[in-house]
């Protein structure tokens, strides 16, 4: 009986610790992504990030005043009739005391998505999947090649 109680206690402790894992902050910088389709795709991307167990969107590089490392998504968009082209790059950013912020972008992370107006929410989910794959790879390799100084 003691072993059963110990096993249940460890299981509950493990579950409560898993819930305490902080979500990684993500800052999205969208240059010229204010068109109807591209802005809808970004809204969908932000919803996917917000619904994830691993990430949350922050409004700037300061990590909401915590001054931690922030994963960045740089975006540039262009639209024509019923199609949006959305280019993304990923990197890291960090602010330091004195309002000094630095961002490093991984140029090899450049991706482009073509989003059809009939599947714009799917496009946001695809953008999230691409981001999650990159961020998981970045985290699996430790600090990655990006260094913030």
Task: Please compute the mean of the pLDDT values over residues 102-123 and round it to a whole number.
Answer: 91
- For 31-149, where are the alpha helices, taking DSSP H only? 36-51, 120-140
What's residue 17's pLDDT?
Answer: 47
The DSSP bridge pattern shows strands 83-96 and 100-116 to be antiparallel
What's residue 60's pLDDT?
Answer: 84
User: Residue 46 and residue 44: Cα distance in Å, rounded?
Assistant: 5
- The terminus-to-terminus CA distance of the chain in angstroms comes to 55
Is 42 a residue whose pLDDT tops 70?
Answer: yes
What's residue 62's pLDDT?
Answer: 82
What's residue 96's pLDDT?
Answer: 84
Q: How much of the chain, in percent, has pLDDT values that exceed 90?
A: 49
Residues 6 or more apart whose CB falls under 8 angstroms from that of 146 comprise 91, 92, 104, 105, 106, 138
Is 21 a residue whose pLDDT tops 90?
Answer: no
């Amino acid at each position: 009986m003691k072993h059963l109680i110990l096993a249940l206690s460890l299981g509950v402790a493990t579950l409560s610790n898993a819930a305490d894992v902080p979500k990684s902050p993500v800052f999205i910088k969208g240059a010229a992504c204010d068109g109807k389709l591209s802005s809808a795709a970004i809204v969908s991307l932000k919803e996917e990030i917000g619904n994830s167990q691993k990430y949350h969107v922050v409004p700037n590089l300061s990590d909401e005043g915590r001054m931690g490392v922030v994963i960045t998504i740089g975006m540039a968009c262009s639209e024509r009739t019923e199609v949006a082209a959305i280019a993304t790059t990923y990197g890291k950013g960090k602010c330091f005391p004195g309002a000094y912020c630095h961002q490093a972008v991984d140029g090899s992370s450049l991706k482009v998505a073509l989003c059809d107006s009939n599947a714009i929410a799917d496009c946001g989910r695809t953008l999230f999947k691409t981001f999650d794959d990159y961020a998981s790879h970045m985290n699996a390799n430790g600090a990655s090649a990006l260094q913030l100084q």
